[in-house]
């Protein structure tokens, strides 16, 4: 596999950055996770727009245009002979001195990894996920806005550890008010009495690209969808629950904290949303 590293493609074993890069030292950088379906990069422009917004939010000047990054990303897929896969796009602040001062960094690093993806096992899409509530709370948005896809993911990693320690693969994260924010890497939705509900961004959730696609599909199906704060109780009594994310796509949840959701199996709305999402991915893609 070849990795794009700032100005060239290198073999993965040669893809190395300096130990003085502030992305490594302080998590000072941003990223996007992007899917490739049948030779089409899914919602590439939306991902690159979000990358630019993350960069502006942390005052990181991108020396590449959106078109330049787009071209390099597509070339990364071609170089690796990919038609389906996952692309990790990373920008670090660059090499600097020891210390937090970002003004010592002058050359941001662009890293593009285009590779195969390890999905949730098929059985989870057929039978649904059993998840738990993590005791690790989501970062307060006044400290680190969740809209910024930064390299600071330790909060999510700790919640993932909580899930694994409790015998689950995924966990819900609550915000500092005790309301549902999101899962460790996915947005959360419930279906109740014919309406879809999901936490708003100001609850501490990421404004996910797949999340936005579900809003579009729900509109096509004439299913009302509402953004509002959710409690765990509302998930326990929901008819259906599902998660969305670049890797997960749309995956049903059938149990939270040992409590079955609905009938304890994937529901019809979730199944229909996944079906239409998978049907639409090529239409919303950029050919490599």
pLDDT digits (tens, 9 = 90+) for 262-274: 999 999 999 999 9
CB 1 within 8 A of CB 115: yes
User: Which one of 3.40.47.10, 2.60.120.200, 3.40.50.720, 3.20.10.10 gives the CATH number of domain 122-281?
Assistant: 3.20.10.10
| CATH topology (fold) of 2-115 | D-amino Acid Aminotransferase; Chain A, domain 1 (3.30.470)
User: What residues does 241 pair with on adjacent strands?
Assistant: 190, 253
E-assigned strands of 122-186? 129-133, 171-174, 180-183
| CA neighbor of 90 nearest in space, from 65, 67, 62 | 62
For the chain, percent of residues with pLDDT exceeding 90 = 89
Average pLDDT, the chain: 95
- Provide the pLDDT for residue 146: 86
pTM, 2 dp: 0.94
Residue 48 has pLDDT above 90, yes or no: yes
Name which of 58-62, 77-81, 90-94, 275-279 the model is least confident about. Answer: 275-279
Residue 101 burial by Cβ neighbours in a 10 Å radius (0-12, 13-18, 19+): exposed
Residues 6+ apart with CB under 8 A from 168: 129, 130, 131, 132
| Enzyme catalytic residues | 149
pLDDT digits (tens, 9 = 90+) for 230-240: 999 999 999 99
Residue 52 to residues 29, 69, 96, 154, 255, Cα–Cα distance (Å)? 12, 11, 22, 22, 37
pLDDT digits (tens, 9 = 90+) for 153-166: 999 999 999 999 99
Residue 87 has pLDDT above 80, yes or no: yes
- Provide the pLDDT for residue 143: 87
pLDDT digits (tens, 9 = 90+) for 24-45: 999 999 999 999 999 999 999 9
Q: What integer is the mean pLDDT of 77-87?
A: 96
Q: What integer is the mean pLDDT of 250-267?
A: 97
CA torsion 96-99-100-104 (nearest 10°) is: -30
For the chain, percent of residues with pLDDT exceeding 70 = 100
Q: How confident is the model at residue 97 (pLDDT cuts 50, 70, 90)?
A: very high
Q: How confident is the model at residue 280 (pLDDT cuts 50, 70, 90)?
A: confident
- Provide the pLDDT for residue 287: 81
Q: What integer is the mean pLDDT of 255-262?
A: 98
The domain locations on the chain are: 2-115, 122-281
Q: What integer is the mean pLDDT of 7-36?
A: 97
CB 253 within 8 A of CB 269: no
């Amino acid at each position: 596999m070849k990795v794009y590293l700032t100005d060239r493609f290198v073999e993965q074993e040669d893809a190395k950055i300096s130990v003085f890069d502030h992305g490594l030292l302080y998590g000072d950088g941003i990223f996007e996770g992007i899917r490739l379906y049948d030779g089409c990069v899914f919602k590439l422009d939306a991902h690159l727009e979000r990358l630019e917004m993350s960069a502006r939010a942390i005052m990181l000047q991108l020396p590449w245009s959106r078109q330049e990054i787009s071209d390099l990303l597509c070339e990364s897929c071609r170089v690796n002979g990919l038609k389906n896969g996952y692309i990790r796009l990373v920008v670090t602040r660059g090499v600097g001195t020891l210390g937090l001062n970002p003004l010592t960094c002058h050359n941001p690093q662009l890293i593009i990894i285009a590779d195969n993806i390890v999905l949730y096992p098929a059985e989870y899409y057929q039978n649904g996920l059993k998840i738990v509530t993590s005791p690790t709370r989501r970062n307060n948005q006044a400290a680190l806005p969740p809209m910024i896809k930064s390299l600071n993911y330790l909060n999510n990693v700790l919640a993932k550890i909580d899930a694994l320690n409790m015998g689950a693969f995924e966990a819900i994260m609550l915000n500092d008010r005790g309301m549902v924010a999101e899962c460790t890497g996915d947005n959360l939705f419930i279906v109740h009495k014919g309406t879809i509900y999901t936490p708003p961004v100001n609850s501490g959730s990421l404004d996910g690209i797949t999340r936005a696609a579900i809003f579009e599909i729900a509109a096509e199906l004439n299913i009302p969808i509402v953004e509002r704060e959710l409690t765990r109780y509302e998930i326990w009594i929901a008819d259906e629950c599902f998660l969305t994310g670049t890797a997960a796509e749309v995956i049903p949840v059938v149990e939270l904290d040992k409590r079955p959701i609905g009938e304890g199996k994937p529901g019809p709305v979730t199944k229909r949303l996944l079906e239409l999402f998978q049907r639409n991915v090529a239409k919303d893609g950029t050919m490599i």
